[in-house]
Amino acid sequence: MAIDADYEDAITDLLKLSFYLRQDGVESALENSHCGGHLWIFLAEPLPARDCRIYVCGLALRLGILVKGCKQREGIEVFPKHDALKPGRYGNAIRGPLGIHRGATQRFWFDGADEDLENQMCYLNSLPKMTGDQLARLIAGKAIPPQLLSSEPKAESVIWEPRGWSEFRILEHISTKLRAVGHNNVTRCPSCAVEGHDRSGDNLSISIEDPRKYICWAGCTSDMIRSALGCPRAIPHHQQNKEA
């Protein structure tokens, strides 16, 4: 399980989480990153992703740490993000422990050991792993926090423009680099960018099969995205007359 934080003072929040995880008997490892850090919790066995998020997100919110998702644009992200995947589909990607960051082209080290692979691996192998029984005790009687229930909304279909106007094609207006993740292209959300968010550049997801379908996972609406691109949705004439 990985907790990703890439905003201002992110390391402070990750250290706070690490301290309170330890109070629950859960050991974690802090790995630095390009714009913040990753806090890893290693498991003794495969465990349901939803149960892991119930625990970590609930703890974070109790500590006053923001959780990214729904309409919250900044905060920690907890991986895995999906409860289940359909055949042939992929979940959200995160750089693996001790992997080389593609943007920074360097390896980032864990704080608990000297900066060489042998010592780092010895440190990670020495960490106690969370068990299923332990997780079950920690989440007994708990559920996903209500404010995060919509953190995985269904992809939004772009509404066709009123008759007489050309169809909006989002790919014609995106200038940032796209990268394929499963059946979607992901890139920085223009609306988030206006607010100085989405530093990881993956909030906007656009269907490869049908580019009319797109969504911002931080909660920006299609109208917000189109306005940020300088292509606001046209108001039908009958509505213009009514407003006038």
pLDDT band at 105 (very low <50, low <70, confident <90, very high): confident
- Structure confidence by residue, pLDDT tens digits, 171-228: 888 888 888 877 788 888 888 888 777 777 888 888 888 888 888 877 788 888 888 8
Neighbours of 171 (CB within 10 A): 12
> Residue 187 phi/psi, 5° resolution?
-160, 180
CA–CA dist 85, 50 (Å, integer):
12
CA dihedral of 101, 103, 106, 112, whole degrees rounded to 10: -50
Whether the CB-CB separation of 34 and 228 falls below 8 Å is answered with no
Q: In which band, very low, low, confident or very high, does the pLDDT at 158 lie, cut at 50, 70 and 90?
A: very low
- How large is the average pLDDT for residues 39-68? 93
Task: Name the fold adopted by 2-148.
Answer: Alpha-Beta Plaits (3.30.70)
The CA distance from 242 to 52, in Å, is 51
**Per-residue pLDDT tens for 215-225?**
887 778 888 88
Domain definitions of the chain by residue range: 2-148, 156-233
Amino acid 162: pLDDT: 44
DSSP state string for 203-214:
SEEEESS-TTEE
